[in-house]
Amino acid sequence: MSNKRKAIDIAYQAITYLASSVSLLALSMIVYFVWSNGSGLLNMDLLTKDYHAKYYNGEMVEVGDYSTTLRPSDLDDDIYYSEQYGIGLSDAKDREGNPIILVEYIASDSPMLKLADRNSEDIIALEEGMLISKVAFFDKATALRTFGAEYMVNELDSATDFREIVFTSLGGGIRGSIITTLYLIGMTMAMALPIGVFTAIYLNEFAKKNRITSTLRTLIDTLTGVPSIIYGLMGLAVFVPLTISVTPATSGNLISGSLTLAVILLPVIIKSTEESLKVVPDGLRQASLALGANETQTTFKVVLPSSIPGILTASLLGIGRVIGESAALIFAIGTAVKDDISIFGKSTSLAVHIWSMMTDEPANIELSSTIAIIILMIVLVLNITVKLLSKKFMKPMQ
């Protein structure tokens, strides 16, 4: 081999190394990006809290019922403490950079724990982590959040009573979207699995090899190439009106979403189930039939159990698809993020929640990344499980 040839070969090889590093680089950048932006918000609170902030409007139940707790020594220096009301407040900025006042600490005997809701008969409580937007007094100017925490604390301590305190829960949780995603997975699977598995059984076990069968197959295969946004249009045109007419729903809803997703999953489930039916040896079927079992018994007791790994793989892939699907659901359900979930109402899956926040002004990249971390973790686990499953079960039977 000439030296020149060698040099050229090495150059060519180097190019392939370079090309391969693109995939690695892309994956690491995506993971790094979502982790660096989203990990800060990742905690249990996020999973259990509501997305929308709730507004409260409270007043003192009994004037004179003050806190006697002194300023705790472990409170940070930048927290202003109101001795009379037993609350510690600090200044912070929200995502848009507006000043907010954060409740950092509440004494156990603080009157703020028992406030009368001015909009109802309920007793409401200020909690740590909430935001105070203003405190209005009877005889002096209102302490707004824009004046800062120190001002608000001073005003509170120099007044015996206040007219109202307006505070909000922080919101930004994704409980609603998690529940929606779970609903969607459950309902979609309940619809797509039986139909898909039955179709696969029919095509593989019963259908004659003729033109009608191959037409049916072509029709089903064509579904694979349809982009998900087209499925979304179908959901909007077919399933949304359908569900509105037969259920209490009045708009896109989780049922119409699940129906749409079920259609998307059908070709995946049919393909995967058929693959595993194909490896069931004919001898098993014949033996079962020879022993006096009828077709139904043979199918359900002999053929189907051997294809369980395939069906399981299909289900896991399907769950992954449901979790990641966004375009179809934007049309088939809608993009309104909700906290109270009903299968007859609108709400967003985790993926659509991201889209909804990213198309808002300004886009919420932090929370989007946090949700992306959750989605990526689920998808990763599903993928590894599928890999292990196929390693374990997908050997041809003896």
Amino acid letter for position 313: T
Radius of gyration of the chain from its Cα atoms, rounded to whole angstroms: 30
Please report where in the chains the tokens 């399981």 appear, as a residue: 312
Shortest Å distance, C-beta 206 to other proteins: 6
Distances from the Cα of 274 to the Cα of 202, 256, 270, 301, angstroms: 10, 27, 6, 17
Choice between 110 and 335, CB closer to other proteins: 335
Choice between 31 and 159, CB closer to other proteins: 31
List the one residue out of 71, 169, 155, 81 whose CA is nearest residue 124. Answer: 169
Choice between 5 and 211, CB closer to other proteins: 5
Choice between 54 and 278, CB closer to other proteins: 278
Choice between 124 and 374, CB closer to other proteins: 374
Choice between 8 and 308, CB closer to other proteins: 8
Shortest Å distance, C-beta 114 to other proteins: 43
Shortest Å distance, C-beta 331 to other proteins: 7
Burial of residue 133, with CB atoms counted within 10 A of its CB: 0-12 exposed, 13-18 middle, 19 or more buried:
middle
Choice between 122 and 221, CB closer to other proteins: 221
Task: Give me 320's structure tokens.
Answer: 């992954």
Contacts of range 200-206, beta carbons closer than 8 Å, 24 or more positions apart: 200/269, 200/270, 200/271, 200/273, 200/274, 200/277, 201/273, 201/277, 201/299, 201/303, 201/304, 203/270, 203/274, 204/274, 204/277, 204/278, 205/277, 205/285, 205/299, 205/303
Shortest Å distance, C-beta 15 to other proteins: 6
Shortest Å distance, C-beta 243 to other proteins: 13
Shortest Å distance, C-beta 222 to other proteins: 5
Shortest Å distance, C-beta 20 to other proteins: 4
Choice between 116 and 203, CB closer to other proteins: 203
Ramachandran quadrant class, 162 (left: phi over 0; alpha: psi -120 to 50; beta: rest): beta
Shortest Å distance, C-beta 314 to other proteins: 13
Q: Is residue 93 a contact partner of residue 211, using CB atoms and an 8 Å limit? A: no
CA dist 192 and 186 (Å) reads: 10
Helix-helix angle 308-324:350-358, to 10 degrees: 20
Quick one: how far is CA 84 from the chain centroid? 43
Choice between 140 and 301, CB closer to other proteins: 301
First to last CA, the chain: 49
Choice between 26 and 291, CB closer to other proteins: 26
List the one residue out of 114, 325, 310 whose CA is nearest residue 235. Answer: 325
Q: Is residue 285 a contact partner of residue 201, using CB atoms and an 8 Å limit? A: no
Shortest Å distance, C-beta 66 to other proteins: 48
Shortest Å distance, C-beta 14 to other proteins: 10
Choice between 123 and 377, CB closer to other proteins: 377
Amino acid letter for position 331: F
Dmax over CA atoms of the chain, in Å, equals 97
Shortest Å distance, C-beta 294 to other proteins: 4
